[in-house]
Structure 1
């Protein structure tokens, strides 16, 4: 056995292990930047402890800034993002899906309590607040109102919380927001909910070494099995992470067709 070990060392059979490094981790700007930091810092801290690498959480002020930075493909090592942008990076930039949040996700068109709106068509010519393109929410609005002559008035905001505030404050009639947020605001009335897509996924740039990707994947998939992982999941309000593949997101990049810069 010892002789076998010497042979392995001599001929380099053991795969090299990447030294501890620093990697940026960005989360899609659905929430305000400060709320994003508060919500997801437990995740990057957990990954740093579990992998021995320094995983740095970074934020973006809005989707336009996020989209422009993403296209440069130089500043985001790890990304927690929606299906369409995950698929875009896999197809165009060589990213690799490591794991996804369990289940699927949809978007919901909501109004205030006194809007008296039953169908999306009743919002033609009226105001809808949404995060700007290429957020999945805005793309769903565009799908819902394809006729350029029969459109709502779009009020662009930096995050979904601002969308909801616009409705509650009477500054917009409707808003398109991630469905999980709706239950947090009893003042909102659901008009319609879109079809579900695979939930947000964590993907890694090709610049992240394979062994680092594997360590992060293992930490995510094992999270629900350990006390530290369970505490992290509770802190970020995720049920768990589950295995995911690049193929699982294939095709969702087509939602970006027509978006400037695609």
Structure 2
């Protein structure tokens, strides 16, 4: 039985054939491969018909289709805002590197830790302790960082005579960002006995942390140094219990799936005027004015505060 006769007897076969012809024609006309936007039947028919008529599909190698994921911590900002900021960065890095780089938001710390641990975050932008962990554990390399270093203070109200030293916070309420925030983990690493630590009252906004402490809602507060200087420039009303060393600002690290050439292209692009413009919304969000290149040795040992943190204690 001829193919034409078969299509006459079976209308469904005729419809499939016509769909295939249309898909192939449109695909060849646009010089594109079958895409996820095509109906499943059209994609299948496209490939089948191309094989039957011995048409060479447009080149779409596995390497060209391979995705590289840019990610960031879930607690850094709300998901919608994160996509607004990181989406254009991923698109820009795709253009300058020639790789298909996408932004993927991971909704909680468990998902983020698992993705990082399993190497599913090819590019990650987060705090220095996470960058240090990836450098040590997953063969990531630091490329760029926020120019503003990271530092914090632990504060108590000046009128609170019961809290004059860091040790006095044991068993008392401490307002700080939730673990595994770098500042919070650094403070808790100062207490050797897990049974003798401050009681964490987790908050995401440094301004709320400071004002809650000043209103008596907690006995101590962990606040970024830059925020402290803005809120209390003359150091009145509060006592500084602890001042941290400065560490690198939020850092972009890149994993081993991207080649040294790819990494060089990405770094050069980020430091260019166009790259600085693309990064400006993120810089503003994180309190920096630009990105600069990162140096590997700056991150040595900073992952130590993650030692007892779920998902990073390997």
Does TM-score exceed 0.5, indicating one fold?
yes
Question: What is the Cα deviation at residue 249 of structure 1?
Answer: 1.8
Counterpart of 1:127 in structure 2 is 173
Counterpart of 1:207 in structure 2 is 257
- After TM superposition, the structure 1 = structure 2 runs for residues 45-64 of structure 1, keeping only pairs within 5 Å, are 45-64=91-110
Higher Cα Rg, which structure: 2
Counterpart of 1:77 in structure 2 is 122
Question: What is the Cα deviation at residue 151 of structure 1?
Answer: 1.9
Q: Distance in 2 between matches of 1:62 and 1:20?
A: 28
For the pair 1:89 / 2:134, whether they are aligned, the reply is yes
The structure that is helix-richer by fraction is: 2
What's the secondary structure of 2:200's corresponding residue? strand
CA contact (8 A) 1:108 1:190 kept: no
Question: What is the Cα deviation at residue 126 of structure 1?
Answer: 2.0
What's the secondary structure of 1:144's corresponding residue? coil
Question: What is the Cα deviation at residue 91 of structure 1?
Answer: 1.7
- After TM superposition, the structure 1 = structure 2 runs for residues 11-160 of structure 1, keeping only pairs within 5 Å, are 19=64, 22-34=67-79, 35-74=81-120, 76-110=121-155, 119-157=165-203, 160=204
For 1:86-128, what per-residue CA distance to the aligned partner results, in whole angstroms no more than 9, with x for missing partners? 1221221111222222242113334679867654344332212
For 1:136-161, what per-residue CA distance to the aligned partner results, in whole angstroms no more than 9, with x for missing partners? 1232121233344542111345xx32
- Residues matched between the structures, number: 237
Q: Distance in 2 between matches of 1:180 and 1:39?
A: 22
Question: What is the Cα deviation at residue 24 of structure 1?
Answer: 1.5
Q: Distance in 2 between matches of 1:22 and 1:68?
A: 18
CA contact (8 A) 1:29 1:59 kept: yes
Note the residue ranges of structure 2 that are not aligned, 5 or more in a row: 1-62
- Structure number with greater CO (CA < 8 Å, separation at least 6) is 1
For the pair 1:165 / 2:208, whether they are aligned, the reply is yes
